[in-house]
Every structure is written in C-alpha cells, then in structure tokens.
Amino acid sequence: MARYELVKRSVALITLTNPPVNALSSPVRHAIAKSMERALSDPKVTAVVICGENGRFCGGADIREFAGPLRGPPLIPVLDAIEAGRKPVVAAIEGVALGGGFELALVCHYRIAHSKARLGLPEVTLGILPAAGGSQRLPRLIGIPAALELITTGRHISAQEALKLGIVDQVTDQNACEMAVEFALKSVGKPLSSRRVSMLTTPCPPDLDALLEAATMQVKKKARGVMAPLACIQAVRAAATMPFSKGMKRESELMTTLFNSGQAQAFQYCFFAQRTAGKWTLPSGAQWNNSKPREIRSAAVIGLGTMGRGIVVSLARVGISVIAVESEKKLLENGRQMVIGMLERDAKRRGVSASLNLLNFTLSLQDLKDVDLVIEAVFEDMALKKRVFQELSKVCRPTTLLCTNTSGLDVDALAGVTNRPHLVAGMHFFSPAHVMKLLEVVCGPRSSSETIATAMSLGKKMGKVSVAVGNCPGFVGNRMLKPYLDQATFLLEEGATPEQIDKALEDFGFAMGVFRMSDLAGLDVGWRVRKESGLTGPDVDSKNPPRRRQGHRYCPIPDMVCEQGRFGQKTGRGWYMYDKPGDTNAKPDPLIQNLLETYRSRYGIQPRNISDQEIIERCLFVLANEGFRILEDGMAARPEDIDVIYLFGYAFPRHRGGPMFYVSMVGLERVLERLEYYHQAHPDVPHLEPSALLKKLVACGSPPVQKWREYIKTMHSHL
C-alpha cells in the first residue's frame, strides 16, 4: 500500500501504491504512518519524499469506505505527524492531488508539482467538506478569498495556477519525483517552522463578514438547499477567526453534520453511479470490457438546426473532422456561421485555438463516401429520416456507422431501411448539444457490440456521460418525462398555479420548475409532437370526449396555451409573461390565471388547495414509477443509469441523487402506498398505478438501490 525505499543514501522515498488513484484507504493510511515513523527514526534519513505510483499522487480518501464504520488509523493524526516531524518532507505531485490527497500535500513542508498535475478539494461535490485539515490549512496558505473559492466550488486547478496561488513551490516538466528528491536534499538543515502550514496566521481581510456573506448568497443561489457549500464557508470562517486546534474541532463538527445529513450519501451515490453507467452490457453477453470500439477520425452531421450545430462543435473540438450537411444553400450558410461562432467562442473560453480546419460544409450526401460515422439530426419525421438512411446506405462505404439523434423514434425501423442494420444505433444528445453532458446511446435489437462500444466511447471522447438504453418510444429520459409533465398539468386543472408548482419543485432542489423550464425550451415542440401523435388538433378534439384521449385522462391546457401563440420565452409569453421576447425573467401572468379559472368552471372543476407535498409526490413518484417500468422492460440496465440520465440530462438535483435514489430514500413502502392512494383518486391515469417491480421490491423488504439489479436480472433485457 506504500513502498519504502532509501534513495541517494539519505532520502526516504514513500510511494503510495493503491491503484487506480492511490486513494487513502485504511491500509494506505496505516502504511504511510509506519513509513513516516521509520523515516523519522532512521538516523541515515535526512529528508522524505512522498509520491504516488503510476504518475498519480493521490485521489483522496477512499470514498468506498464512507459507507461503513472507520477502520484503521484516522487520517488526521497521520497527517499531523508528517507536518510536525523534524525532517523535511516534500510532496512530489504528479497526476492528481485531490481531497485528502491535497491535504496530504499540504502537511508536507514543500510541494513540487508536474506541469500536467491537477489539484483541488472536491469534497463539496461529494456533499462534505475537506475534513483532514484542508479547510483550516488552505486559508492559512493562500488567504481567505482564494481558499473560499476553491473549497466551495471543488474546482480542480492546474499546477501553474497552484504555483501562482502559492500552493506549490515549484512546477516541473520533468520527473516530479526525481526533482523532489533533489529538492529534499537541498532543504536539509533549513528551519521548518515557517513551512508548517498549521502554524501560519491566516491573512484576514478587513471585510471578512461582507466577503463571507457574499459567498453565502452566491452558493445559496447556485445550489438551492445544498448544505455542503454553506458548511465549507463556516469552516473557512473558523480558519479566519480561530486558532488552528479550535478550527479543526469546528471542521470535524461540520463534517459530522454533513455526513449524517443524507445529502452526502446522495452525492456519493452520484459519484459511483456516473462511473457505473459507462459499464454497459447487451443480451448477447457483449459488454464494455470485452468489446472493442472503432476509432472515429471523421464524421458527418446531417441537419444544422438546434441539435446538429452543437453536435458538430462537440466533435470538432476533440479533433474529429466533420462534414456538415444541410438541405438548402441559405440554411447551410447560416449553419456554417453559427458553428464557426460557437467553436470560436468555445476555443476562446478554453484558451485554445478553434479547430476550424476540421470543418467542411456541403449540400450533398454524396460527399459522405469516406466518413467513419454519420449522425443524423434532421427534423423528427420518420419518413424523412428513412429517406436519409436509405440514401446514406447507398452512398457511405459499407463499414460506416449510421447514427440518429432522434428524440424517441424507433431506431430499429431506421436500421431496417439500411443495408447494415448492425451498424445503426441512436446517439441521443441533449440541447444544447455542445453544453449538455448526457448522451443516451440507443441500442437497437440489431446493433452490434462494436457499434455500441464505438458510440459509447465516442461519447466519452466528446466529454459526455454516455448511458446505454433500449429502443422504446422516448427511450429512457423522455419516456419518463411524459408522466411527470402530465401530473404537473393535472395539478393545474385541480387548482394549482404554475408558480406554485414551480416553487415546490425549486424548493425540492430543481434550478427551474417544470413550467419555467418548458418556457425556456419552447412549448411549440411538445405541441407539434402531440398533434403528430393524434392527441390534439381540430379533428381529434371534436371526436373525443373532453379531457380524455385514448381512454385516459388528458389535459388540453398546454394546447390551449400554444393556440394563443404563447410558445414560451422566445415569444415573450408562455406559462409566464416576460418583458420582451427572449427575456428570461418570468412573471406570473393574470391571463394564465384567467385561462385556468375559465377552464375549471367550464368543466365544473372545484379548485382545491394543493399542498407542496402532493405536488412533489405526484410529480416525482410518478417519474420514478415509470423508471421502475423501464427497468422491468429491460430498457435501462440499472437504476443508476436512470439516475445518471436525470442528473445530467434533466438537471435533477444532485443532493437528491436522482429519481430512483430519491424514492429509495423516501422508502419504497411509502412510495407504493402513496401511488396506490393517488391511483385510487385518479383511476383514469395509468401512470399512477404502481409498477410490478416496485411491488416486488417492497415485498422483498425494500432492498437498497444498489441491490435492485439482482431483482431485475430475472426480467427481460433489451440491452
């Protein structure tokens, strides 16, 4: 767990050996403590260097250990002994020094970093705070404002920034370990007291209260209801106002509160869920670790609308050459300007040069003969998409992968019109495609393992979180969204207002409630889909009983809003009103209030007071209920995949862990009981009927979410 060697006759080199990230597990802590004791007591040793194997210093505490009781030596005394020792200790930082790894570096007397190393205190992203002295030492080393920013955001910084901030003493392009040994030899005999960060006085700005107050406002605005950043601010305040030992006590109290809050569990679940999601399997037995992706050097994107542009940018910025195709000259020119602008802004932000030389624009599919992969992003129209796929089938070489960005159409039907159904898959990006991190990779029944491996790995290369899903209407994310949106509009019928529903969801943790979000996305998109699927329109409305479609309850209010030309922010009117089109400041609109009142009285609905609890239960339990059905149907492999889709594609609040984790925390028994209750009250809403899997899990004693897979395994998988 740590290798001990004597180098240059007098330097003890301690190498952490706990792959893949040298996390500070119990055996590693034990090994560090023992190695330090040996180094400090050996008279031959004049200095110590600590480094990590495989070019990675240390990724921090072992997060897997958080779930159980503490075993082995606690970290703080191990670190304190390093700092207090009478021999100089140098940290040789390569790869990463994160969390406890950074804290380990902070107790060393000197820090040498490789130029490619990244440092940070990401604990806040795990719902906790730097709890091995980081919240007390970093402000002492670099001052309150800089420490506050790093600790409350969890941002990773480069070695160069760390040097500028005074965190590291030297940055090198060479072997950091060898440099550290040389540095250690030179530091022998020099006084150490000024190098012990805990002994420094925190430079305290005169406007401390105002600074902390501003930081508090900022984090409250950014992450509603999240406790960790607020606790981080309190810990930094302690560093500014208390002696080190008292500050450490405060750090520990705050950590205990966070650890027991439930939020930390949710954040840590998200960390592992994200890493689990990449591990796909298909019914054939092919999976992430036995299927080889193809290398994609060139791609084509068809359609330069909202989605196509973002997809082109996502491909080009990771070095893939792209041919972009439009249907008309003017649209092509417009698309070209937009893509170039987006790519230039993106490059400027990242401080690199825009890869415009990788772009080509054309009106002809004939130019796609030699590309490795195509992503189709034309209108959501099956007949049009089929024509495009038939044409691609003729033009592209037989090995080219053909992917579609459809939001929910049958990927297999598209595969069926090609001469290579095994090379067809869905690559469902989210809007805006160059910003949103989620990619649903839709596995058709005929998609080959190589096709899925390639789409998944291409997504990763583009910086996306890729999740493999089955081929069903709406796939996973959009399929679950429908019953959730339905509940929100049913609640409007029954007496709620858009602002009330939004507020309940925002208090739950969403950055935007469902109506505010719909106004941002545009209401016309869903309206067009409803018209095309026969749910609304002049013919349909007259042939169906009011508020019923296909035998079920249907709320026509969203259609009525669209009929008035209210398409959301872009038209300055939607569920809310805005000062002008494009404005983002949503204000309650008396006209909507009027529309709701007239509607209710037309259908004899007596409005009732609806509690926030009912809003949350109806919207979110129904969302998870559809998630259970998706698991039953084998359209998602595990609950973690669904949660990752909601975290990265639909901004589900991270401190709630995702819809499936959230209901597991509420308690499956309670969720089942509430769904039964609501279904009884609304028997014409089938989505409220508890799913078979939910019932089965409750019958089996409500196992934790990580165990659900065992109960799903017996069911049919489409993945």
**Of the candidate residues 39, 302, 396, 504, the single one contacting ligand NAD (CB under 6 A):** 302
Tokens of 467: 């999740």
Select the binding partner of residue 60 from ligand T1G, ligand NAD, none (C-beta < 5 to 8 A, by kind): ligand T1G
Name the one range near ligand NAD by CB under 6 A: 235-243, 296-304, 553-561, 699-707: 296-304
Q: How far is the CB of 20 from ligand T1G (least distance, A)?
A: 5
Select the binding partner of residue 603 from ligand T1G, ligand NAD, none (C-beta < 5 to 8 A, by kind): none
Please give the C-alpha separations between residue 336 and each of 302, 309, 324, 544, in angstroms, as whole numbers: 13, 9, 8, 46
CA distance 599 to 489: 12
**Site membership for ligand T1G, residue 75 (CB under 6 A):** yes
The smaller minimum CB distance to ligand NAD, of residues 63 and 384, is found at 384
**Site membership for ligand T1G, residue 98 (CB under 6 A):** yes
**Site membership for ligand NAD, residue 301 (CB under 6 A):** no
**Site membership for ligand NAD, residue 15 (CB under 6 A):** no
**Of the candidate residues 380, 450, 633, 689, the single one contacting ligand NAD (CB under 6 A):** 380
Q: Which of residues 382-421 bind ligand NAD (CB under 6 A)?
A: 384, 388, 405-407
CB 154 within 8 A of CB 124: yes
Q: Is 103 a catalytic residue?
A: yes
CA distance 326 to 45: 70
Select the binding partner of residue 657 from ligand NAD, ligand T1G, none (C-beta < 5 to 8 A, by kind): none
Q: Which of residues 421-440 bind ligand NAD (CB under 6 A)?
A: 429-431
% helix, strand, coil for the chain, step of 5: 55, 15, 35
Tokens of 178: 């060898």
Q: Is 295 a catalytic residue?
A: no
The smaller minimum CB distance to ligand NAD, of residues 385 and 618, is found at 385
Helix, strand, or coil here: 7? strand
**Site membership for ligand T1G, residue 251 (CB under 6 A):** no
The catalytic position among 103, 440, 494, 506 is 103
Q: Are strands 118-120 and 110-114 parallel, antiparallel or unpaired?
A: unpaired
Q: How far is the CB of 249 from ligand T1G (least distance, A)?
A: 15
Q: How far is the CB of 21 from ligand T1G (least distance, A)?
A: 4
Full 3-state SS string of 561-573: HHHCCCCEHHHCE
Name the one range near ligand T1G by CB under 6 A: 17-25, 392-400, 566-574, 661-669: 17-25
List the one residue out of 48, 154, 32 whose CA is nearest residue 92: 48
Residues 6+ apart with CB under 8 A from 8: 181, 185
Tokens of 679: 């279904």
The smaller minimum CB distance to ligand T1G, of residues 99 and 444, is found at 99
**Site membership for ligand NAD, residue 306 (CB under 6 A):** yes
Tokens of 37: 């004791």
Query: Applying CB under 6 A, what is the total number of residues that bind ligand NAD?
Result: 23
Q: Which residue has the tokens 């489409």?
A: 718
Please give the C-alpha separations between residue 145 and each of 211, 233, 240, 695, 713, in angstroms, as whole numbers: 8, 11, 11, 51, 51
Strands (E), 295-400: 298-302, 321-325, 359-362, 373-376
**Site membership for ligand T1G, residue 61 (CB under 6 A):** yes
Full 3-state SS string of 512-538: CCHHHHHHHHCHHHHHHHHHHCCCCCH
Helix, strand, or coil here: 619? helix
* Sign, Cα dihedral of 651, 652, 656, 657: negative
**Site membership for ligand NAD, residue 378 (CB under 6 A):** yes
Select the binding partner of residue 377 from ligand NAD, ligand T1G, none (C-beta < 5 to 8 A, by kind): ligand NAD
**Site membership for ligand T1G, residue 62 (CB under 6 A):** yes
Cα three-residue angle 615-277-504, rounded to 5 degrees: 15
Q: Which residue is nearest to ligand T1G (CB)?
A: 99
**Site membership for ligand T1G, residue 100 (CB under 6 A):** yes
CA distance 106 to 239: 15
C-alpha 515 chain-centroid distance: 22
Name the one range near ligand T1G by CB under 6 A: 58-66, 109-117, 592-600, 679-687: 58-66
CA distance 603 to 189: 88
The smaller minimum CB distance to ligand T1G, of residues 58 and 392, is found at 58
CA distance 439 to 429: 5
**523 beta partners:** none
The catalytic position among 94, 123, 376, 440 is 123
Select the binding partner of residue 388 from ligand NAD, ligand T1G, none (C-beta < 5 to 8 A, by kind): ligand NAD
**Of the candidate residues 44, 116, 222, 275, the single one contacting ligand T1G (CB under 6 A):** 275
**Site membership for ligand NAD, residue 526 (CB under 6 A):** no
Q: Residue 564: what residue type? A: Q
Q: How far is the CB of 630 from ligand NAD (least distance, A)?
A: 18
Contact set with ligand NAD (CB under 6 A):
302-308, 325-327, 331, 377-380, 384, 388, 405-407, 429-431
Contact set with ligand T1G (CB under 6 A):
20-21, 23, 59-64, 75, 96, 98-100, 103, 122-123, 126, 128, 130-132, 134, 272, 275
Q: What are the residue numbers of the active site?
A: 103, 123
